Amino acid sequence: MESFHATTIVSVRRGGRVVIGGDGQVTLGNTIMKANARKLRRLGKGDVLAGFA
């Protein structure tokens, strides 16, 4: 069985503001398993942004 591989979560901080983004695709080898995964989440009371690869 093929193993899962990570993706890239990108964040930029400029002028006291932050933007974070990532793709929504989950693959297993060359097969797309899910095209709309939520890889970005707000944690706590919304004060923390987390990216999951």
Domain residues of the chain, as ranges?
Answer: 9-51
Measured CA to CA in angstroms, residue 11 lies from 17, 34, 40 at distances of 10, 23, 11
pLDDT-flagged residues of the chain (< 70): 1-6, 53
Let me know how many helices (H) and strands (E) the chain has, helices first: 0, 6
The distance from CA 31 to its chain's CA centroid, rounded to whole angstroms, is 18
Distance CA 10, CA 3 (A): 23
27 carries an active-site annotation: no
Query: Taking CA 48 as the corner, what is the angle to CA 41 and CA 3, rounded to the nearest 5 degrees?
Result: 40
Q: Which of 7, 8, 27, 31 is catalytic?
A: 7
Write down the pLDDT at residue 17: 92
Alpha helix segments (H runs only) across 1-53: none
Q: How much is the pTM?
A: 0.56
